[in-house]
Amino acid sequence: MSKILKTLVIATVVLGANNLSAQEEKMEFDSNFTHVVYFWFHNPDSAEDRQAFETSLKKFMKNSEYAQTKFIGVPAGTPRDVVDNSYTYSLILSFPSKEIQNKYQTEPAHKMFIEESSHLWKKVQVYDSVGIDKLAEK
Protein backbone atom coordinates (compact mmCIF):
# COMPACT_ATOMS: atom_id res chain seq x y z
CA MET A 1 0.00 0.00 0.00
CA SER A 2 1.38 3.40 -0.91
CA LYS A 3 2.23 5.95 1.76
CA ILE A 4 -0.47 8.32 0.46
CA LEU A 5 -3.11 5.58 0.53
CA LYS A 6 -2.10 4.56 4.08
CA THR A 7 -2.39 8.20 5.17
CA LEU A 8 -5.84 8.47 3.61
CA VAL A 9 -7.02 5.25 5.31
CA ILE A 10 -5.72 6.42 8.70
CA ALA A 11 -7.30 9.86 8.24
CA THR A 12 -10.62 8.26 7.28
CA VAL A 13 -10.60 6.01 10.34
CA VAL A 14 -9.69 8.88 12.67
CA LEU A 15 -12.27 11.23 11.16
CA GLY A 16 -14.90 8.50 11.26
CA ALA A 17 -14.17 7.86 14.93
CA ASN A 18 -14.40 11.59 15.66
CA ASN A 19 -17.74 11.81 13.86
CA LEU A 20 -19.07 8.80 15.77
CA SER A 21 -17.97 10.35 19.05
CA ALA A 22 -19.71 13.62 18.16
CA GLN A 23 -22.89 11.73 17.24
CA GLU A 24 -22.81 9.83 20.53
CA GLU A 25 -22.54 13.11 22.44
CA LYS A 26 -25.51 14.56 20.54
CA MET A 27 -27.58 11.45 21.20
CA GLU A 28 -27.32 11.66 24.99
CA PHE A 29 -30.81 11.12 26.33
CA ASP A 30 -32.05 11.65 29.85
CA SER A 31 -34.01 8.48 30.53
CA ASN A 32 -35.30 9.49 33.96
CA PHE A 33 -38.60 11.01 32.82
CA THR A 34 -39.99 11.51 29.31
CA HIS A 35 -42.87 13.70 28.23
CA VAL A 36 -44.20 12.73 24.79
CA VAL A 37 -46.86 14.96 23.24
CA TYR A 38 -48.85 14.46 20.05
CA PHE A 39 -50.71 17.35 18.41
CA TRP A 40 -53.55 17.10 15.90
CA PHE A 41 -54.20 20.37 14.07
CA HIS A 42 -57.52 21.84 12.97
CA ASN A 43 -55.87 22.61 9.62
CA PRO A 44 -52.93 20.21 9.23
CA ASP A 45 -52.30 21.24 5.62
CA SER A 46 -51.97 24.95 6.43
CA ALA A 47 -48.38 26.08 5.86
CA GLU A 48 -49.13 29.25 7.83
CA ASP A 49 -50.34 27.29 10.87
CA ARG A 50 -47.35 24.98 10.70
CA GLN A 51 -44.93 27.91 10.53
CA ALA A 52 -46.59 29.66 13.48
CA PHE A 53 -46.52 26.45 15.54
CA GLU A 54 -42.89 25.63 14.75
CA THR A 55 -41.78 29.19 15.51
CA SER A 56 -43.58 29.21 18.86
CA LEU A 57 -42.43 25.70 19.77
CA LYS A 58 -38.77 26.38 18.92
CA LYS A 59 -38.88 29.61 20.94
CA PHE A 60 -40.37 27.72 23.88
CA MET A 61 -37.76 24.94 23.69
CA LYS A 62 -34.94 27.46 23.49
CA ASN A 63 -36.23 29.25 26.60
CA SER A 64 -37.29 26.28 28.70
CA GLU A 65 -35.33 26.07 31.94
CA TYR A 66 -36.21 22.46 32.55
CA ALA A 67 -36.56 20.42 29.32
CA GLN A 68 -33.37 18.55 28.46
CA THR A 69 -33.74 16.34 25.41
CA LYS A 70 -35.85 18.26 22.89
CA PHE A 71 -37.27 16.67 19.75
CA ILE A 72 -39.91 17.93 17.30
CA GLY A 73 -41.20 15.40 14.80
CA VAL A 74 -43.84 14.72 12.17
CA PRO A 75 -45.32 11.38 11.13
CA ALA A 76 -42.73 9.21 9.45
CA GLY A 77 -45.27 7.69 7.09
CA THR A 78 -44.53 4.15 8.18
CA PRO A 79 -47.60 2.18 7.05
CA ARG A 80 -47.95 -0.59 9.62
CA ASP A 81 -51.05 -1.60 11.54
CA VAL A 82 -49.48 -0.66 14.88
CA VAL A 83 -48.35 2.84 13.78
CA ASP A 84 -50.57 5.90 14.16
CA ASN A 85 -49.61 8.46 11.52
CA SER A 86 -52.69 10.63 12.06
CA TYR A 87 -51.08 13.33 14.23
CA THR A 88 -49.62 16.57 12.89
CA TYR A 89 -46.59 16.99 15.19
CA SER A 90 -44.90 15.13 18.02
CA LEU A 91 -42.77 16.55 20.78
CA ILE A 92 -40.46 14.51 22.99
CA LEU A 93 -38.88 16.11 26.03
CA SER A 94 -36.92 14.54 28.84
CA PHE A 95 -36.35 15.65 32.40
CA PRO A 96 -34.10 14.52 35.24
CA SER A 97 -37.14 13.82 37.44
CA LYS A 98 -40.91 13.96 37.75
CA GLU A 99 -40.50 16.92 40.08
CA ILE A 100 -38.56 18.90 37.47
CA GLN A 101 -41.17 18.04 34.84
CA ASN A 102 -43.83 19.41 37.21
CA LYS A 103 -41.90 22.71 37.34
CA TYR A 104 -41.78 22.77 33.53
CA GLN A 105 -45.59 22.63 33.43
CA THR A 106 -45.83 26.06 35.05
CA GLU A 107 -42.76 27.78 33.65
CA PRO A 108 -43.40 31.01 31.67
CA ALA A 109 -41.94 29.63 28.40
CA HIS A 110 -44.32 26.64 28.45
CA LYS A 111 -47.34 28.78 29.32
CA MET A 112 -46.47 31.23 26.52
CA PHE A 113 -46.23 28.40 23.99
CA ILE A 114 -49.69 27.13 24.98
CA GLU A 115 -51.12 30.64 24.79
CA GLU A 116 -49.61 31.26 21.34
CA SER A 117 -50.41 27.88 19.79
CA SER A 118 -53.39 26.20 21.43
CA HIS A 119 -55.80 27.66 18.87
CA LEU A 120 -53.99 25.61 16.19
CA TRP A 121 -54.71 22.16 17.60
CA LYS A 122 -57.94 20.25 18.01
CA LYS A 123 -56.45 17.46 20.10
CA VAL A 124 -53.38 16.89 22.26
CA GLN A 125 -52.38 13.51 23.68
CA VAL A 126 -49.62 13.20 26.29
CA TYR A 127 -47.67 10.14 27.39
CA ASP A 128 -45.43 10.61 30.44
CA SER A 129 -43.02 7.83 31.38
CA VAL A 130 -40.54 7.24 34.14
CA GLY A 131 -37.49 5.11 33.35
CA ILE A 132 -37.63 1.57 34.76
CA ASP A 133 -34.16 2.07 36.25
CA LYS A 134 -35.61 4.86 38.40
CA LEU A 135 -38.34 2.53 39.66
CA ALA A 136 -35.74 -0.06 40.67
CA GLU A 137 -33.94 2.56 42.79
CA LYS A 138 -36.98 3.09 45.03
* Count of domains observed in the chain: 2
Q: 52 with 8, same domain?
A: no
Q: What is the CATH number for 65?
A: 3.30.70.100
pLDDT score of 11 more than 60: no
pLDDT score of 97 more than 70: yes
Q: 1 with 39, same domain?
A: no
Residues in the chain: 138
Q: 35 with 95, same domain?
A: yes
Distance, CA of 81 to CA of 86 (rounded, Å): 12
**pTM (predicted TM-score):** 0.76
Q: 59 with 113, same domain?
A: yes
Distance, CA of 45 to CA of 53 (rounded, Å): 13
Q: What is the domain range of residue 73? A: 31-137
Amino acid at 66: Y
pLDDT of residue 15: 43
Q: 123 with 63, same domain?
A: yes
Torsions phi, psi for 129 (to 5 deg): -140, 145
Q: What is the mean pLDDT of the chain?
A: 83
**Residues 24 and 121: beta-carbon distance below 8 Å:** no
pLDDT tens sequence across 12-47: 344 444 444 443 444 466 678 999 999 999 999 999
